[in-house]
Amino acid sequence: MKIGIYGGSFDPIHNGHIYLAGCAKKEFNLDKIIFVPCNIPPYKNKKILTPALKRVGMIYMGINKEVSFELDLFELIRNEVSYTIDTVKYFKEKFPKDYICFIFGPDAYETFKTWKDYKEIQKLVDLRFAERSFMKDFYLGVRATDIRKLIKRDKSIKGLVNREVEEFIIKNGLYKEV
């Protein structure tokens, strides 16, 4: 089996995440994409705003219509700083005979060489950096940070997240105090 691991805070998951995962699945001929929400980011200036259970709910709502998309809670259950190297080792143990690649969004490419044990990550799995050109048919051009700011200013996020995620955000009053 060919597996793509897609990590991030997904706070909130948005249509750009979903589209990138779909493009990666097709472009790299993957059988499935596993979304791995982080718990405690290794960089101190990044704070997860939404409790894990609510992010898990939004991720599930965002991916549940695609049978080849899955959710793994490894980083959330550990309750430690989320280093990619630990996640890579976990998936190598979980799927020892399978091909595994790690999918990164467009912004990760610039900082990858600052990550803990980045050379070991390169040895253990294939790295797939999704550049903006990779999503040539569609590019949402928005980040989760932008979505949170729109919500705080009572602006519409219609079309940026799927309908269920939007309703969940509204119902739970998320991101009003970003």
Q: How far is CA 74 from CA 86, 99, 146, 165, in A?
A: 10, 19, 27, 22
The beta strand positions in the chain, using DSSP E, are 2-8, 32-37, 69-71, 99-104, 126-129
Question: What pLDDT sits at residue 109?
Answer: 75
All domains of the chain in start order, with CATH: 2-172 (3.40.50.620)
Question: What pLDDT sits at residue 140?
Answer: 59
pLDDT digits (tens), the chain, 178 positions: 999 999 999 999 999 899 889 989 999 999 999 999 998 888 756 666 799 999 999 999 999 999 999 999 999 998 888 899 999 999 999 999 999 999 987 677 778 889 999 999 999 999 998 765 555 555 556 788 899 999 999 999 999 999 999 999 999 999 987 5
Describe the strand order of the beta sheet including 2-8 as a list of residue ranges: 69-71, 32-37, 2-8, 99-104, 126-129
Question: What pLDDT sits at residue 90?
Answer: 98
Structure token pair of residue 119:
């050379």
Instruction: State the Cα–Cα distance between residues 25 and 137, nearest whole angstrom.
Output: 15
Mapping DSSP to helix (H, G, I), strand (E, B) and coil, where does residue 146 land?
helix
